[in-house]
Every structure is written in C-alpha cells, then in structure tokens.
Chains A and B, each alone.
Chain A
Amino acid sequence: MSPNSVPNLPAGGADETGRAWVVLDDLDVKRALVRMAHEIVESNRGTGELVLVGIHRRGVPLAHRVAKRIAEIETIAPPVGELDISFYRDDVGIRSPQEISPTDFPFDVTDKTVVLVDDVLYTGRTVRAAIDALVDFGRPRLVKLAVLVDRGHRELPFRADFIGKNIPTSKMQEVRVHVLETDGVDSVVVYDPRTLGDGQ
C-alpha cells in the first residue's frame, strides 16, 4: 500500500506491508467524538456561551461533528468557527508556505468559552499559534483544547482538556487522522517507516 492511500480496516488491523496500523476505525472515531461532546457540555454545564473553533484542516470537520453531537445532547448546537494558523506559525521562513484555508468566525469570541478542536496534539506548536490567532479576534473568557489524538512529545507546555485517544508513539512514527469529509473514511492510522527497511 502506498503511504498516501487510506487503509479501510477494522481497528487493530495492519496493512500488508506491516507498516501501517489502524488504531481507530470509523466506529471508534464516532464513539470518541460522542464522548468528547458529552465531556464538553458537562464541563461547560450546557451550551451557554460555548463556541467551537476548528483548526484547519482536519480540526474543522471534527469541530462541526462535535457540534452536531452536542446538538443531539443539548438540542442547541454551539457555533463553529474555522481557523487557519499559517500566519501565526513559528516556522515561517523555515518551511515552505502551504495553501491557506479560509478563517471564518461567525461570532465574537469575547467572553465566550472557546473550545479549540484539532485532530492530533503533538509538539503543541499549532496550539500556541492557534491561541495567538484567537486572541487577535477578541478576549475569550476561557480557552480549552479538544483533540482526537494525543500522541505525546510536547515541545511547549500544553495539555488537552478533551482527548479522543491517547496514542503513545515514537517520534519516528507518523499519526494520520483521516476524516470522511476530506479522505472518504474515518480512521486514525499510525505509520512506521522503520518496518519497511527499504529506507522509504
């Protein structure tokens, strides 16, 4: 299987190369998001002043899904904002600029409880950039962080408040979250280049 194809296997399954493991399949992702939705409304005691902000790219569809799950629990869906953090990254000038997605806040964040939503929490640098970007839009009362996967190896002092799954990884490995909206399938896959041995 090529490293860019998306394996559609039940959780625990590895592809034929033995290089990719499906850690969460579509049902696992669904369960994790439902639980996170419950945890968010529990900690906020409802949807009052609650807004979700998805971080491009895969945080955005995840934020919309969590909002939908919250609506099923509380009948009210919290507003969802979309945030691109490219202009706030700490590696501008080091890595080549990527295509930028639209930032859209259909609400004022001032005095709101903002839950940032992203797919993977790794070094924490994206979270740092996201918080910097967020405060340019106003002064939230509270900022929390929800991630589908926490893979460890923080380089900045952040922790997530709502976590779909803790996946201990090595820095050599790569964690890829696939979402239905952009990848055609919901799954979390860990890739390990070492098991192939051909130096790919």
Chain B
Amino acid sequence: MMMIKHLLSIDQLSTDMIDLVLKTTDSFGEVGTRTIKKVPALRGRTVCNLFFEPSTRTRLSFELAAKRLSADVITFTADSKTSVSKGESFKDTALTLQAMGLDAIVVRHTSGGSAKRLSEWVDASVLNAGDGSNEHPTQALLDLYTIKQRFGRIEGLHIGIVGDVSHSRVARSNIKAMTKMGAHVTVIGPPTLLPVTVGSWGVDVSTDLDAVLPKLDIVYLLRVQKERQVDQFFPSLREYSMFWGLDNRRVGLMKPEALIMHPGPINRGVEIAGDLPEMERFIVADQVTNGIAVRAALMYLMLGGSQEPPPTEKV
C-alpha cells in the first residue's frame, strides 16, 4: 500500500490506511516497553517541530516519537526568542526551513489550512499537529487506537463528543475518523457551540447530555477553549459545567463499561468536576501513551517508504 506524503486531514486516509497505521502502532507500543526504547529505522533523518501555538503533549509526543525512530529533532516555537517576533512571515519561515533540508515538518498553527499551505512550499513531509479549528489528525488516530485497544473494535460503538464542537479541531478530525471506521457518533453541547453545518456531518446531535449518557460506550469530553472564547457563547463557566460538565452524578448515568476520554489539557471544574476521582474509566493517560506510538508509526510509514513504486519482492 502506498502511504501518503503529507498528513493534513483525516480525509486523506482510507480505512485500509488507518488499519495499517493502527497495526503498526502495536509494534511501536512494544518498542516503548523495551529497555532500549529506540529503533534505527529513521536514523539520519531530521524532523522539525514547528509550533506557532502552545502545546505540551503534542509537541513532546512528536519529539519522543521521532527519537524512538532515531531521527534527529529540532524544535521551533514562535515566541520572543525566534525571528517571528521580528516579523518574519509564515512563508519566509517555511522557506528558511526548506533551505535547511528537513525530511519532515510537524506543524501547529492558529490558522486553518496552514499545514496545507506549508506542504505546498516545502519538499519535506508535513504532519498537521493542529491547524486552527480545522483538524488535528494525529489526535484522532491516537484516539482510534486507544478505543480499539480497550474495546477491541471501533465499528458499532456509540461515541458521544461533548462540548465546544465549533472551535474544536479535535472534534472535526475525530468525527471524520470515527464515522469512517463505523462508529456511531453523537455530538452534544450548547447550540451556540455546535457548528451550523453539523447536520451534514453524519452524526446525531443532542443538547441533552443526561438523556444521551446512558447509551454511550465512550464519553469524549472536549476542552472548553477559553482562548477562542472571544464572543460569549455561554453565560459562564459555572453554567457550562452545570449543563455539560461530567460530575459524579452523571458518571452514575453511564454504562458500567463506558469510558471517558479527553484530548487534554483538562480544565478541572469545567468539563470535568474538580472532585471527580482519578477513576479507572478515565483513560487520558492511555491516550497520551498511545500518542507516541501512533506518531512513531505514522512517521515510519510516511518517511520509511519510498515515494517510488515498490520494487519487486526479494526474499
């Protein structure tokens, strides 16, 4: 199977490709349990983390994934220490990186479509690590992997995505990925935070969390994006947590085997109650652990293959 050169959107991936990524992830999960958590597959390649927006887990996860493959990693964050603060444009920054001869660029940017633009300017493979409110494909893939690890399947599961769907690239990529793999998705949130086009996304829509909770296999909580709340989409954080936050009473409504996921970072006391104990079914740590293996699998498949048609099989 030919792998894609750039990963910009879940739309690029066929179900076969997703299966291959998830299968390859198993092997990197195993590498992560070894004493020497490193394989030489991408020795001599250089991966650049290009981050125009704050990130903890995604950046560290990509960095660890590249290092597990023995690639060299350089990191660029657009802050006061770089030329972006001197007014260098995105394109000029890209051309600078192009001149440095990189093999892959992991990009996070505040604007939707920025990863695609970057892929048009550089020869390196571009991996979208979040472009504005558009997509975050590696998050969706690590979520699929985590779900499959726990349930043994994705097809037929009922997944509720709760909260600010409008501003969430995580929700966009996840809805595409989950429905592609045969899951039943219901988005739940205040009407002001559900996109107007949500009806055409192949998902069910609800504004009543208590009514949907008992039916769900997975409750996927989205982060309330305080930094994107320029307009008042809901009256207060307290009201949000009252209607859409997960507390002990609501956990009691869930199926006993249902699990809770969150892309992080968590706003304690907003989308999940501050006093909710660290329960067995809250599998955020699995998501983080699997994130490294999924990203390693992706980089291995994208950079480890030839862009030429495969040569004839040799024993």
B2:A99 contact, CB within 8 angstroms: no
- The chain A residue with its CB closest to the CB of B40 is A88
A90 vs B141: C-alpha distance when bound (angstroms) = 28
Minimum C-beta distance from B313 to chain A (A): 9
Minimum C-beta distance from B14 to chain A (A): 15
- The chain B residue with its CB closest to the CB of A96 is B310
**Residues on A with beta carbons closer than 8 Å to the beta carbon of B36:** 136-137
**Residues on B with beta carbons closer than 8 Å to the beta carbon of A97:** 3, 24, 300-301, 304-305
**Residues on B with beta carbons closer than 8 Å to the beta carbon of A22:** none
B27:A103 contact, CB within 8 angstroms: yes
A175 vs B314: C-alpha distance when bound (angstroms) = 10
Q: Considering the complex, which residues of chain A in the window 100-126 have a beta carbon less than 8 Å from any beta carbon of chain B? A: 100-104, 120, 122
B315:A132 contact, CB within 8 angstroms: no
Known: A97-B300, A122-B315. A103 touches B40 (CB 8 A): no
- The chain A residue with its CB closest to the CB of B302 is A97
B24:A92 contact, CB within 8 angstroms: no
**Residues on B with beta carbons closer than 8 Å to the beta carbon of A196:** none
**Residues on A with beta carbons closer than 8 Å to the beta carbon of B42:** 92
**Residues on A with beta carbons closer than 8 Å to the beta carbon of B31:** 87
Of B2, B3, B34, B41, the contact of A92 (CB 8 Å cutoff): B41
Minimum C-beta distance from B168 to chain A (A): 32
Of A87, A93, A176, the contact of B39 (CB 8 Å cutoff): A87
- The chain A residue with its CB closest to the CB of B297 is A100
Of A87, A133, A136, the contact of B300 (CB 8 Å cutoff): A87
Minimum C-beta distance from A172 to chain B (A): 12
A95 within 8 A of B: yes
Minimum C-beta distance from A55 to chain B (A): 12
B315:A87 contact, CB within 8 angstroms: no
B288 within 8 A of A: no
User: Most B CB atoms within 10 A — which of A96, A122, A133, A174?
Assistant: A96
Minimum C-beta distance from A5 to chain B (A): 16
A175 vs B1: C-alpha distance when bound (angstroms) = 24
A interface, over-half SS: loop
**Residues on B with beta carbons closer than 8 Å to the beta carbon of A94:** 306, 311
- The chain B residue with its CB closest to the CB of A135 is B36
- The chain A residue with its CB closest to the CB of B39 is A87
When each residue 24-37 of chain B gets 1 if its CB lies under 8 Å from chain A and 0 otherwise, what string results?
10110011001110
Minimum C-beta distance from B56 to chain A (A): 27
A84 within 8 A of B: yes
B2:A96 contact, CB within 8 angstroms: yes
B303 within 8 A of A: yes
A96:B305 contact, CB within 8 angstroms: yes
A97 vs B40: C-alpha distance when bound (angstroms) = 14
- The chain A residue with its CB closest to the CB of B30 is A103
**Residues on A with beta carbons closer than 8 Å to the beta carbon of B304:** 92-93, 97
- The chain B residue with its CB closest to the CB of A129 is B40
B23 within 8 A of A: yes
A173 vs B38: C-alpha distance when bound (angstroms) = 36
Of A88, A93, A175, the contact of B315 (CB 8 Å cutoff): A175
B13 within 8 A of A: no
B20 within 8 A of A: yes
B20:A99 contact, CB within 8 angstroms: yes
- The chain A residue with its CB closest to the CB of B300 is A97
Known: A94-B306, A96-B305. A88 touches B30 (CB 8 A): no
**Residues on A with beta carbons closer than 8 Å to the beta carbon of B20:** 99
B27:A93 contact, CB within 8 angstroms: no
A47 vs B300: C-alpha distance when bound (angstroms) = 38
When each residue 160-196 of chain A gets 1 if its CB lies under 8 Å from chain B and 0 otherwise, what string results?
0000000000000011100000000000000000000
A87 vs B42: C-alpha distance when bound (angstroms) = 8
Minimum C-beta distance from B35 to chain A (A): 8
Known: A93-B306, A95-B311, A175-B315. A102 touches B39 (CB 8 A): no
A200 vs B3: C-alpha distance when bound (angstroms) = 27
**Residues on B with beta carbons closer than 8 Å to the beta carbon of A132:** 40
Minimum C-beta distance from A136 to chain B (A): 5
Known: A97-B3, A120-B315. A88 touches B303 (CB 8 A): no
A95:B310 contact, CB within 8 angstroms: yes
A87:B40 contact, CB within 8 angstroms: yes
Binding site for B on A (CB under 8 A): 84, 86-89, 92-97, 99-104, 120, 122, 132-133, 136-138, 174-176
Sorted from nearest, which 3 A-B pairs have the closest CB atoms? Answer: A87-B39, A96-B310, A87-B41
